[in-house]
Amino acid sequence: MRVTEHLAKASRTLFSFEIIPPPRGQNVGDIIHIMDQIVPVSPPFIDVTSHSAEAVYEEQPDGTIRRRVRKKRPGTISICGIIQNRYRIDTVPHLLCTGFTREETEDAVIELNYLGIENVLAIRGDESNYSKVIIQGRSRNLYASDLVKQLVDLREARFLDDLANTRPINFCIGVGGYPEKHVEAPNFKSDIARLKAKVDAGADYIVSQMFFDNTAFLEYRRRCREAGITVPIIPGIKLIDSVRHLSSLPKHFHVSIPDALVDEIHASPKHVREIGRNWAQRQVEGLLAEDVECIHFYVMNDAEGAVGIIKAVG
Q: Lowest mean pLDDT of 71-80, 113-122, 240-249, 303-312, name the range.
A: 71-80
Is the model's pTM score more than 0.85?
yes
Residues in contact with 217: Cβ distance below 8 Å, sequence separation at least 6, in sequence order: 179, 208, 211, 235, 287
CA end-to-end span of the chain, whole Å?
A: 24
Radius of gyration of the chain (CA): 20
At 64 the pLDDT is: 65
Residue 142, class by beta-carbon neighbours within 10 Å (0-12 exposed, 13-18 middle, 19+ buried)? exposed
Q: From CA 191, how far away is CA 210, in angstroms rounded?
A: 16
- Binned at pLDDT 50, 70 and 90, residue 309 comes out as very high
Look up the CATH number of the domain holding residue 193: 3.20.20.220
- Tell me which residue range forms the domain holding 148: 3-312
pLDDT tens figures, 7-18: 999 999 999 999
Within its chain, how far is the Cα of 300 from the centroid?
Answer: 10
At 23 the pLDDT is: 79
Q: From CA 241, how far away is CA 16, in angstroms rounded?
A: 19
Q: From CA 280, how far away is CA 211, in angstroms rounded?
A: 10
For the chain, what is the domain count?
A: 1
pLDDT tens figures, 240-299: 999 999 999 999 999 999 999 999 999 999 999 999 999 999 999 999 999 999 999 999
- Binned at pLDDT 50, 70 and 90, residue 160 comes out as confident
* Mean local confidence (pLDDT), 157-169: 81
When the pLDDT of each residue in the chain is averaged and rounded to a whole number, the result is 90
Residues in contact with 4: Cβ distance below 8 Å, sequence separation at least 6, in sequence order: 172, 204, 205, 232
